[in-house]
Amino acid sequence: MRAQRKKANTNVYHVIIRGINRQDIFLDNQDFRKFLKELKRTKEFYKYELYAYVLMPNHAHFVIHDPTENLSTIIQSLNVSYSYYFNQKYERVGHLFENRFKSKNIEEESYLKNVVRYIHKNPENAGMSKKYPWISYHEYVQNKEGITDKNFIMKLFDYNISNFKIFHDNYNKNQDLGNSYELISKIGDEEAIKCMKEIAKEENLIRIQNYDKEKKYEIIKKFIQIEGIKKIQIARILGLNKKTIERIEKKMSL
């Protein structure tokens, strides 16, 4: 029996949904737009507020204020409607998302600000462009109308966009709370190997040692982005030195 989710006194939650087996849930721009449309629909129907979001290729983060205490129903409705669209479009069957989404209560303003910043920095942490479009950050700094409810967060910054930007610019990946924001569990070698084989389209992962430098970099870059997998784990499975994996990760952040 699953433990019941503990309700936040503030009704504010950090939520993560993820593709089953870490598979991509967004394959093109139409998919991202469709998901945002479904997000807007659930907002209007369930009367919740969305303080921040980012849609990454195989997962998504949200900060949700849910005064009606319908969080599980909200996420279920969102996942079901999008999964139906995705499966129809790509002629697939079966689950698209992990059965149990992850959530963490947000009780303090300082933690809320840090979570919002962490979500907005997610693409950069994954080596993507600062102009990554599928994120609420642009709605804040460009004062764009969208699906984000910005008022409460901006109140924490005295409604001063410069304060908001400075706070985000002061982000230090090595000093944040890391896994407390990711809400992830470490995955074992068996699951890691399965994910890596699917990504590399390679049954014998040791063969990656013999790839040319550019191809090896691109594959290992994708491995590093698998949530819950450790660099030492990647190195062990591939038969490579951990420093090789660390050099690639460092190169991703440049």
pTM surpassing 0.75? no
pLDDT, position 221: 87
Per-residue pLDDT, 155: 95
pLDDT tens per residue, range 19-44: 987 788 999 999 999 999 999 999 99
What pLDDT is recorded for position 2? 43
Question: What pLDDT, on the 0 to 100 scale, is given for residue 3?
Answer: 45
Is residue 95 within 8 Å of 19, Cβ to Cβ? Answer: no
Determine the pLDDT at residue 202.
Answer: 86
Distance CA 13, CA 188 (A): 27
Distances (CA, A) of 223 to 124, 189, 230, 231: 16, 13, 9, 9
Query: What strands lie across the sheet with 102-105, from one edge to the other?
Result: 49-56, 59-65, 12-18, 102-105
Sequence spans of domains, the chain: 12-182, 189-252
| pLDDT tens figures, 187-221 | 677 778 888 888 888 888 888 988 988 888 888 88
CATH architecture assignment, domain 12-182: 2-Layer Sandwich (3.30)
Chunk the chain into consecutive blocks of 10 residues (it has 254) and report each block's average pLDDT, rounded to whole numbers.
60 91 89 96 95 94 93 93 94 85 89 93 85 95 90 96 93 57 62 83 88 89 78 87 84 67
